[in-house]
Amino acid sequence: MESSTSPPASTGPSTPTTGPASRRSRAGAGLSPLKRFLTLREGSIVVVTIITFVYFAATTPHFLTGANFKTLLPYFAPFAIIAAGQVFVMTLGEIDLSIGAMYLWTPFLFWKLVTSAHFPLVLAVIVSLIVAALLGAVSGYLIAYIGIPSFVTTLGMLFVLDGVTLIVSHSEQVTTPGTSVTHVGTFASILGGGTYSELIWAIGIVIVLQALLSSTRWGLYTVAVGSNKIGSAEAGIHTKLVIVRNFMLCATTAGFVGLLEAIRTSTASPDPSGSNTVLLQAIAAVIIGGTLMTGGAGTVVGALIGALFLGILNDGLVIKGVNANYEDLYLGLAILIAMLVNIYIARVRKGAGRG
């Protein structure tokens, strides 16, 4: 039997390689800076986003204005945070379909805690996030320990949370506690109400979660479980725990974004179709950003840029005055084209990284 893969270099057992000589052949070395940039997982979406940005800036006079930048923020910052959590789940090769419902439900829990249980605002936020994490733990437990596929588990969780939201709210919009339409207090301005509040949260959370993913055991095990679950278990990694905690993280970010948005808009609307759009846009941001749906590789920064791409696209189409009926069509086509470019560049990356 001949092994089908050819070793990239001599594998003579009696010729130990010396350190410095071997370091020269590190992947990506000897490439032009542009190609080396493209070999980054996030490289391709960065290029696509820049092209989109330049297109709208060149063709629309109002695109490059401070006012439009502020308009763009809510199109992008919340998705960047919610996608950051989803990256941890999708890098495992799993998916969390309940993030939209978690986003919908958490503000109503917060509202109920303040109005009915008379919790102080900050405590209510903390308790709401803890509940979100625990609900994520329930999903994670069913997936990791009972073995229900994540698609089904989180689909169930989606409808449960949508249902509970409708019951609790009596299908009526509520005013978010701690906010008022006329005045933005400290509490509200920190948690979503301030103009740049969501942007700052998004950047902060993305930095922390990217560091968690690429520089800690948590992240390393996430990639390991997503790439080879049995092998990870054989290496001694507690794979079930890795799965549960990532679902907890994902649920927490989704709940947090729900709160930020409810505070920013001063209202919480029990609208499951709106939250489903949030879910799909977040997943789109993750995938466009370069995270593999099959697991084993993911990037939080990529998801942020994926969210930025979607935000620019949404906002740009509105500014260009595209007929509202055409918006979804263009959005869909743009996502497909972005993915095609992504895959093409990924092929360049694979070719370049070899040996």
Residues that bind another protein (CB under 8 A): 1-3, 5-19, 22-23, 25-27, 211, 215-217, 220, 223-224, 226-228, 230-237, 296-297, 353-355
| Smallest separation (angstroms) from another protein to the CB of 207 | 14
Q: Which is nearer to another protein, 107 or 219 (CB)?
A: 219
End-to-end CA distance of the chain: 24
C-beta of 234 vs 328, nearer to another protein? 234
Q: Based on CB atoms, which residue is closest to another protein, 37 or 218? A: 218
Minimal distance, residue 90 CB to another protein, in Å = 14
Q: Which is nearer to another protein, 1 or 67 (CB)?
A: 1
State the minimum distance, in angstroms, from the CB of residue 15 to another protein.
6
* Burial of 236 (C-beta count, 10 Å sphere; 0-12/13-18/19+): exposed
Give whole-number Cα distances, 27 to 15, 292, 352, in Å: 21, 20, 8
The neighbour count for residue 102, using CB atoms within 10 Å, is: 32
Toward another protein, which CB reaches closer, 149 or 353? Answer: 353
Nearest alpha carbon to residue 312 among 83, 69, 85:
69
CA angle (88, 90, 94) in 5-degree steps: 115
Contact status, residue 175 vs residue 267, Cβ threshold 8 Å: yes
Nearer to another protein, 51 or 211 (CB): 211
Taking the C-alpha atoms of residue 286 and residue 93, their distance in angstroms, rounded to an integer, is 12
Smallest gap, in angstroms, from Cβ of residue 271 to another protein?
Answer: 39
The β-bridge partners of 267 are 175
| Residue 291 beta carbon to another protein: minimum distance, rounded to whole angstroms | 12
Q: Which residues, including other chains, have CB under 8 Å from residue 332's CB and lie 6 or more apart?
A: none
Nearest distance from residue 136's CB to another protein, in Å? Answer: 21
Residue 155 CB, shortest distance to another protein, in Å, is 27
> Among residues 1 and 146, whose Cβ is nearest to another protein?
1
Nearer to another protein, 5 or 325 (CB): 5
Which has the closest alpha carbon to 188: 101, 303, 110, 248? 110
Minimum distance from CB of 122 to another protein (Å)? Answer: 27
List of residues 6+ apart from 151 with CB closer than 8 A: 95, 97
Neighbours of 36 (CB within 10 A): 17
CA distance 140 to 134: 9
Q: In the bound complex, what is the minimum distance in angstroms from residue 39's beta carbon to another protein? A: 12
Closest CA relative to residue 254, chosen from 212, 289, 283 = 283
Which one, 33 or 355, has the nearer CB to another protein? 355
